[in-house]
Each structure stands twice: as C-alpha cells, then as structure tokens.
Amino acid sequence: TDQYAVFGNPINHSKSPQIHGWFAEQTQQDLSYLPILAPEDDFQSSAERFFAEGGLGANVTVPFKLDALVFADQLSPRARRAGAVNTLQKGKQGMIYGDNTDGVGLVRDLTNNLGLSLQGKRVLLVGAGGAARGVVEPLIKAGVGRLKIANRTPEKAQQLIKIFHGLQQDSELSAGNWRSLEGSQYDLVINATSASLSGDLPPLPQGIFAPGALAYDMMYAAEPTSFMRWAQQEGAEQVADGLGMLVEQAAEAFFLWREVRPATQPVLQRLRHQLT
C-alpha cells in the first residue's frame, strides 16, 4: 500500500486523513494516509524518517510550512513565491519535491464551488502573513482586475506586492492600512488574517462591499465566523468559510501524487455535514 501522511503540531483535529481517505475510496486508489505529530522543533527528522521508510507524499500544515520549504530538494515556482510548502512528493532518485496547493485551492473553491468569476474583479485581501502570501499568485493568474492587500502592519502588505510585482499581468496591485480602504468597494473580500482564531475582527471600514459581493473567510468553523457575521451585516450578498478551500487544496495534492482528480463536491458535503 502506498503511504501518505500529514505533518502538523497539533495534528489531532486535522481533517486531511478523512478527506484523502474519501478521495482514495472514490477513485479506488490503494493508499494509506496517516496523521503524524512532528515535534515543534524537529520537523526535519520526522519527515526524513517518513520518506526513508517508503512514504511517497505528504501534506504539511501549521506550523511546518516553512520547514517544509527548507526540507524540499526542489520547489515549484508557486511554492517559492508563496514562501511555503504544503505538499511534498518523493520523486525519482529520492528527490523531495515541494509544492503549494493552497492558493489554487482557494481559487477553485471560489470559481467551481461558489460560482464566482474572478476575471476583472476588484479583490481585497485582508492580512499579509503566510496565509495571504499563499493565495496572491493564483488570484493574479485568475485575472482579477484589482488586488488590494490591506494589513494592520501595512509594510508587510507592501512587501507582498513587491514579491508578486513581476507576475502582474493585467492585475493592478496595491497595498495599504485599514484607513486606505475608506471610500472604495470590492466584489470579493478575503479574510486571510488569523484574527478569527481569537474571535477578533480586523477593523475594516463600513461600505466596502460592492453590490453582489462575496465575503470569504479562509478560516472555518461549525458556526459562521465573526468576519462572516460582520460581512453579512455590512450587506455582502454571499459569505463563505474556508472549508471548500481545504478540500480543494487536498484534491490538488491528491492529483499531484496520483494523477487522478477526485470529485470534491461529495467530500465537501460530507465534511460540512460532520462539522455542523
């Protein structure tokens, strides 16, 4: 049986083993996928052991996405620009390849599951940490018209713009603090801050949602997050959490490993049902 795993700390609550188990069942792939708790200060030994003992691929979650970037022998361009690796794959001659499927996962959730067209849209990305950095490239590649990155520490948003400037294509990129958002409207507002984790809300100004706008929180929970509730009050037409992104990033990793694309809708439905 081919072996896969997810590394994290903590790892108990990870939904990845279940998601990949369902993908495998659905596509009739013979594989095992286990959660591995790596010590916070020693991802490397854990990962080395896993691959030495025959592991073929792994997902990497908090707090090891940077360790995985360093661990990989070879990186996809999108992982290098994202500055993080969430998917590892053992290649020929034991080379470890590092990729990042988070951003593609977000874009697939937006377009395929939520029915949004990103082409030419005005997008606000809230936050400039690792989670935000991981989704900038796929948003630009999806052809958004304008991408504004706003952050409590605006310098970090500026840095992100610099990293992705070369990719610019047709998207107009800008960065700023909360106040710089006053008076402008967006078709899509994505919360990529970790504020929801503590029930906090980034202090966004009122009136930022354009008619028909979607508010998307990269976090998910059984109940709507504080950002989702705020967005609804502010008149966002549609709100969504990040459960779909979780399933879609997993599907992209599964495809990389197995060259089979699982259907994500039934898995997302099962997961949602379980969560609530």
State the minimum distance, in angstroms, from the CB of residue 153 to ligand ATR. Answer: 3
State the minimum distance, in angstroms, from the CB of residue 140 to ligand ATR. Answer: 18
State the minimum distance, in angstroms, from the CB of residue 261 to ligand ATR. Answer: 27
Give yes or no for a contact between 167 and 195, defined as CB atoms under 8 angstroms apart.
no
State the minimum distance, in angstroms, from the CB of residue 191 to ligand ATR. Answer: 9
State the minimum distance, in angstroms, from the CB of residue 102 to ligand ATR. Answer: 10
Which residue, 3 or 158, is less far from ligand ATR as judged by CB?
158
Which residue, 31 or 149, is less far from ligand ATR as judged by CB?
149
Can you say which residues are annotated as belonging to the binding site for shikimate? 14-16, 61, 86, 102, 220, 249
Of 200, 198, 182, which is closest to residue 124 (Cα–Cα)? Answer: 182
Can you say which residues are annotated as belonging to the binding site for NADP(+)? 127-131, 151-156, 218, 242
Which residue, 104 or 132, is less far from ligand ATR as judged by CB?
132
Give yes or no for a contact between 214 and 116, defined as CB atoms under 8 angstroms apart.
yes
Give yes or no for a contact between 31 and 83, defined as CB atoms under 8 angstroms apart.
no
Longest CA–CA span in the chain (Å) reads 57
Give yes or no for a contact between 93 and 71, defined as CB atoms under 8 angstroms apart.
no
Could you say which of 65, 90, 121, 148 is catalytic? Answer: 65
Which residue, 127 or 262, is less far from ligand ATR as judged by CB?
127
What is the Cα–Cα distance from 80 to 83, expressed in whole angstroms?
A: 5
Of 225, 180, 187, which is closest to residue 205 (Cα–Cα)? Answer: 180
Query: What tokens does 3 get?
Result: 């072996």
65 part of the active site: yes
What is the Cα–Cα distance from 250 to 240, expressed in whole angstroms?
A: 18
CB closest to ligand ATR, residue no: 129
Can you say which residues are annotated as belonging to the binding site? 14-16, 61, 86, 102, 127-131, 151-156, 218, 220, 242, 249
99, HSE (Cβ side, Cα atoms, 13 Å): 22
> H or E segment at 31?
strand 31-37
Which residue, 103 or 127, is less far from ligand ATR as judged by CB?
127
Residues that bind ligand ATR (CB under 6 A): 127-132, 151-153, 156, 193-195, 200, 202
Of 213, 248, 207, 215, which is closest to residue 231 (Cα–Cα)? Answer: 215
Pairing of strands 172-176, 146-150: parallel
The amino acid at residue 74 is: Q
List residues with catalytic annotation: 65
